[in-house]
Amino acid sequence: MSDEQTDTGTGWPQPAGPVRPGGPAGEPDPRPDAPDPDELSPLAPQEPAEPERPHEDPAVERVDDGATVDLSAVSRSGEPVASSDGLAEPAGDSVGPVAAGRSRWSTASVMIVALLALLGFTLVVQFKTTSTDPTLAATRQEDLVRILSDLDARENRLQQDIRALEDSQRQLASGEQGRQAALDEATRRADELGILAGTLPAVGPGLTVQFDAGAKPISANRVLDAVQELRGAGAEAMQISGGDGAAVRIIASTYFLDGDNGSLMVEGRRLTAPFTITVIGDPATMRTALNIPGGVVASVRGVGGNVTFGEREVAEVSALHVPIKLEHARPVS
């Protein structure tokens, strides 16, 4: 064997070369920047460098055996999706950045749709609350025109009813006034009839007519003639009184009779001379009626008697006549 070869025990000759610095074989090189001996050994297996991958789609992931899986096609339900070479890849929770982005977009979309639905519901509720008739929104134009026409007709009928009620009110008011006026008129007529019938006292302007007897007493005919002349001159109420102060109301049915000793019977009551008639009416007219030539004054003075007049601004006829109960006469209906 040559001196340049050294037996390594492997059957292969060790080539001669320079001795490693730092010590005999098998000892580490003390230099800090010395390479690893194993890396320099031709027998150490060398791991090949991983070649640079070309630019790939982030939605596609490469598996160990070279097959590719499209992550965008992974089912949302977790079912495995077959790749282009027929291999199936289970869908997991982590599907990549694209799937996570799509998940986030779907959540935002759901939130937007929910907010829009809530807004629409609020608007619908407000519209139903403020609308008086929700069915009008879905009514056709022809139906709306007909409804409007019906409302106008109803308004006209209501206006007519209002006018009729107002007319009735005016009629009732006028009728009330008429009834009150009729009541007042009836009261006035009743008072007049009461005065004429002698059932009510009366006051007013008038005069007194006193008859004084002369040589002959004042007869009942002379007194009756004076009463008739006074009635014709507009006398409204009369009474006759005697010298003793007794008074009798003179009405349409009053009668006069001659009594004894120059007395006078009026309505069954005896009156003594002198006689005085109190009458309500126009004093001048009644006085003129009694002084006509050949009348009452002339006839009384013709038998020696005398007639004296006294005008009164307020003459009072206070004597009352007992009402007569009618047995045969009835008012005409």
Residue 190 pLDDT > 70, yes or no?
A: yes
Nearest CA among 275, 194, 206 for reference residue 238: 206
φ, ψ at 7 (rounded to 5°): -75, 120
Contact yes or no for 214/306 (Cβ under 8 A): yes
Contact yes or no for 220/228 (Cβ under 8 A): no
Residue 79: per-residue pLDDT: 47
Burial 105-131, CB ≥16 within 10 A → b, else e: eeeeeeeeeeeeeeeeeeeeeeeeeee
Residue 277: per-residue pLDDT: 96
Residue 258: per-residue pLDDT: 93
- What pLDDT, in 10s, does the model give residues 7-53? 444 455 555 444 444 444 445 555 555 555 555 444 444 554 555 55
pLDDT averaged over every residue in the chain: 74
Percent of the chain surpassing pLDDT 90: 32
Give the C-alpha separation, 65 to 53, whole Å. Answer: 15
Any idea which residue has 């009618």 for tokens?
326
Give the C-alpha separation, 280 to 188, whole Å. Answer: 17
**What's 326's DSSP letter?**
P
Which residue type, as a one-letter code, is found at position 176?
E
Residue 167 pLDDT > 50, yes or no?
A: yes
Rounded to 5°, the CA angle 95-98-99 comes to: 45
Cis link prior to 48 (omega < 30° from 0)?
no
φ, ψ at 308 (rounded to 5°): -120, 135
φ, ψ at 279 (rounded to 5°): -130, 145
- What pLDDT, in 10s, does the model give residues 262-316? 899 999 899 998 999 999 999 999 999 999 988 899 999 988 899 999 999 999 9
Give the C-alpha separation, 31 to 117, whole Å. Answer: 77
The whole-number average pLDDT for the span 235-239 is 94
Segment holding 309, helix H or strand E:
strand 306-317
Any idea which residue has 């997991």 for tokens?
92
Burial 304-331, CB ≥16 within 10 A → b, else e: ebebeeeebeebebebbbeeeeeeeeee
The whole-number average pLDDT for the span 211-216 is 90
The whole-number average pLDDT for the span 97-110 is 60
Give the C-alpha separation, 317 to 198, whole Å. Answer: 9
Residue 100: per-residue pLDDT: 52
Give the C-alpha separation, 275 to 243, whole Å. Answer: 6
Instruction: Tell me the CB-side half-sphere exposure of residue 275, using CA atoms within 13 A.
Output: 29
Residue 253 pLDDT > 70, yes or no?
A: yes
Highest mean pLDDT among 3-12, 56-65, 181-190: 181-190
Nearest CA among 248, 271, 246 for reference residue 258: 271
Residue 226: per-residue pLDDT: 94
Any idea which residue has 């907010």 for tokens?
115
Highest mean pLDDT among 33-37, 119-123, 134-138, 210-214: 210-214
Residue 133: per-residue pLDDT: 58
- What pLDDT, in 10s, does the model give residues 141-164? 777 777 888 888 888 889 998 998
Give the C-alpha separation, 234 to 282, whole Å. Answer: 7
Nearest CA among 98, 105, 99 for reference residue 76: 99
Residue 223: per-residue pLDDT: 94
Instruction: Tell me the CB-side half-sphere exposure of residue 190, using CA atoms within 13 A.
Output: 6
Residue 4 pLDDT > 60, yes or no?
A: no
Beta bridge mates, 271: 264
